[in-house]
């Protein structure tokens, strides 16, 4: 079992990047689910542009990531900004918060009596989504924590800033397998330096890389971004 003392006394762990020993960022899973091309542009080609949505999300996370701070309330120990990794998956990242809850079948923590159950909590700026991108990202954090603490994590939480509500979900076998499959695909793309082409859709409007991505996608069709947007979304679209 990984020593809990090492994990819980980290004062200011450095922010790991995708270039550290070929480990990929956990946060990239959300990009990958949203659009594989977006993920490749960010994590392989290292391109990034900020829009309102990404700026707001960054502010929310900056409020949460008071790195290494421990908080003990109502019997629950919370560690914020905890760096995690998985050698098996080749993933690394930073958990917004990890909660340790008293449990009869948990793990031991140095400096604390009893047994503790581990639960990751991810913070998002918007509201609950219909897809699984948020759950997949948080499930990947859970798999990293399981490997680090030699424990079993059955559930995780996502806090949505817009609704101020927590969403609880199960770390199911199906979710675990999807994380593993997508991580494998990400490593394949990264090792080959491959940026896939995709079919433009309405979701492109909220993409932080639309200005960089769409002109390249449409070049072969001799269309510019403005004409594409007009033909798909109408003249009144922003």
Three-state SS sequence of the chain: CCCHHHHHCCCCCCCCCCCCCCCEECCHHHHHHHCHHHHHHHHCCCCCCCCHHHHHHHHHHHHHCCCCCEEEECCEEEEEEEEEEECCCCEEEEEEEEEEEEEEEEEEECCEEEEEEEEEEEEECCCCCCCCHHHHHHHHHHHHHHHHHCCCCCEEEEEECCCCEEEEEECCHHHHHHHHHHHHHHHHHHHHCCCCCCCCCHHHHHCCCHHHHHHHHHHHHCCCHHHHHHHHHCCCCC
Same domain? For 96 and 214 the reply is no
Look at residue 200 in the predicted model and tell me its pLDDT. 83
Summarize pLDDT for 145-171 with one digit per residue, the tens: 999 999 999 999 999 999 999 999 999
Same domain? For 151 and 85 the reply is yes
Summarize pLDDT for 75-95 with one digit per residue, the tens: 999 999 999 999 999 999 999
Same domain? For 172 and 219 the reply is no
Same domain? For 29 and 145 the reply is yes
Same domain? For 126 and 204 the reply is no
Look at residue 13 in the predicted model and tell me its pLDDT. 35
**In terms of residue numbers, what domain contains 40?**
4-197
Same domain? For 171 and 183 the reply is yes
pTM of the model: 0.77
Q: Say if residue 44 is exposed, middle or buried (CB neighbours under 10 Å; 0-12, 13-18, 19+).
A: middle
CA distances from 2 to 145, 147, 149, 152, 211 (A): 10, 8, 5, 14, 45
Look at residue 126 in the predicted model and tell me its pLDDT. 87
Same domain? For 85 and 52 the reply is yes
Q: CATH number of the domain at 110, please.
A: 3.90.320.10
Domains in the chain: how many in total?
A: 2
Look at residue 205 in the predicted model and tell me its pLDDT. 79
Same domain? For 210 and 170 the reply is no
Same domain? For 52 and 117 the reply is yes
Q: Which residues of the chain have pLDDT under 70?
A: 1-21, 49-68, 215-238
Same domain? For 172 and 238 the reply is no
């Amino acid at each position: 079992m990984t020593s809990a003392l090492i994990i819980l006394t980290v004062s200011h762990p450095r922010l790991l990047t995708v270039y550290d020993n070929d480990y990929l960022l956990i946060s990239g899973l959300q990009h990958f689910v949203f659009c594989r091309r977006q993920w490749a542009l960010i994590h392989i080609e290292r391109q990034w542009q900020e829009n309102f949505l990404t700026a707001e999300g960054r502010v929310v996370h900056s409020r949460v990531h008071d790195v290494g701070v421990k908080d003990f309330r109502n019997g629950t120990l919370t560690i914020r900004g905890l760096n995690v990794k998985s050698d098996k998956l080749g993933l690394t990242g930073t958990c917004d918060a990890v909660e340790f809850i008293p449990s009869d079948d948990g793990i031991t923590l140095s400096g604390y009596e009893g047994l503790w159950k581990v639960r990751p909590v991810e913070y998002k700026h918007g509201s609950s989504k219909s897809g699984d991108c948020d759950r997949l990202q948080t499930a990947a954090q859970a798999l990293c924590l399981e490997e680090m603490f030699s424990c079993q994590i059955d559930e995780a939480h996502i806090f949505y800033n817009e609704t101020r509500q927590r969403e609880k979900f199960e770390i199911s076998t199906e979710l675990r397998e999807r994380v593993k499959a997508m991580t494998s695909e990400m490593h394949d793309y990264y090792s080959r330096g491959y940026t896939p082409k995709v079919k433009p859709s309405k979701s492109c409007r909220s993409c932080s890389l639309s200005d960089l991505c769409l002109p390249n996608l449409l070049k072969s069709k001799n269309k510019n971004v403005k004409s594409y947007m007009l033909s798909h979304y109408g003249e009144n679209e922003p």
